[in-house]
Structure 1
Amino acid sequence: MTGQSLTSATTSRRSGIGKALVAIVFGYALALLLKNDSVFFLGLLGVFVMAGGYIALSLATYPKASGRGASDVHRPDPHAAVKAHYTAILCWFAAQAAVAAAGLAAAAVLGTTYLFPLMPLSIVAAVMGLAWTSTGMYWTWKCARAVRAFQPVVRPFVPLNLSGSGKRSLRLGDVGSGASPIMAGMDPLLHNRWPAGGEDWAWFAGDDAFGGVVMLPHSGMLIFAQPKEWQKTGPDREAAGPERTEQARQAALLKRAKKL
């Protein structure tokens, strides 16, 4: 990542956090009108604005890959990269849980007029925290299974498309001999972007016919990937032989991931 792209990303992140905080404060002020029957709908609008602001804040502060374990050109440590992802997701969830618990406790115990809007905000934090954390942990677990079964090797990396909610497509190798089929991929941290600055090679722990884990060396991003056209690549898996098939079984790659 270049200095210019890093500065741009940091500025964008700070801008997103600032706008989200403004929305939360504005929504909170409107939500206080819920107890006034004549302007009840303004109060209800405030709840939605506040919830939207909190979701935006959570997105802006969602963890990024640390680069740990994937940056060493000669001796990558995929287990460290997986552990870093687990840690980042759990730390983010702890923050969401703290917000939810504090808001519910304050509103329930103190019960003052000015604190009751914390109830819906806490519910949003709890639901969103559980949903995103469970999704991130699931895909990180899929990555962990693959790196236990395969040794990472260097492959040319070609990013293709982004589909939202962390989904993407990519190819390992240039078109022609030695290239993988187009892979459907998932970033366990659910980011809808490629690393700033671009990366043209990656570590791959897996098998082209079954899938595996792509580790981008500079950003530390992990991508769980499997052939996008699963049925079309079926003959490649049938011809893989018992050793490759057993290795794929150990990595839980014999079937296409349902949510990929």
Structure 2
Amino acid sequence: MAISKIKCWYTPGAVFDVEELSRTPVTLELVKKSMLKAGYRAYCLTDRELIEKSSWYKDYQLNDKIFFYIEGSGLFKLVNIDLVENEFYFEKSNLPSGYKPWIFYSWQSDYNPSRSHIKEGIEEAVVEINSRSPRYEIEIVESTRVSDGSANIVESIQKNIDRSLYCVFDITNVCNSGSESESKSYPNSNVSFELGYAQNRKKDDQVLLVKRDRSDDFSNDSTPFDFDQRRREEYTAPARLKANIKTILIAYFEGIGFID
């Protein structure tokens, strides 16, 4: 009986194009043992010595999250390895595979200064990235709003978030409620919805939150929820913000090998 070998690729950072990935050298050759609803168990045919010398195996030993794209099955997180028995166990990832070369920008129209500053920072980063011979030209994809006339706005937004390599959200507070002593401030509701979806679908290093300081406008300018625990930039000086956004985005695209 012939053994069906299944190709498997290590995906550092993000899978931005499955067709492109399939043209790169295979990381592992597997033989499927069993496949459950959320799991994939396989024997590995790749030489043990090659595995132990690989960078991804060293990262796995440090408890980093390691993702592989398995031919015909999608994106999986590596859960367990038994190199003695040559057995690997993967868990289905909810991260989408097949990214487009997009930066998704979730904007709000309630407070235009931050909207403009953030977009200008993204645009400057895109110009720099595209000048460095990227694998593909980077584009900015913006949120769809009701005024844009899309038939299914929510579905369109979710697809764009899923397909984007990176997402930037303007979480600047735009309104408040309560008395001055118990005041609470809130970002735009559309941005909050899109951010909630993205945090379930993207890796932490694919999401950047940006907030303009509005302590002169609101007695309590703190952010709600757990935004303080996420990677974010809070600013008062637009020029510094733009420089920081540019630095963060370029570092990310360098890190995933999108640019040299």
Q: TM-score, normalised by structure 2?
A: 0.29
Q: TM-score, normalised by structure 1?
A: 0.29
Hey, which of these two has a bigger chunk of strand by percent? 2
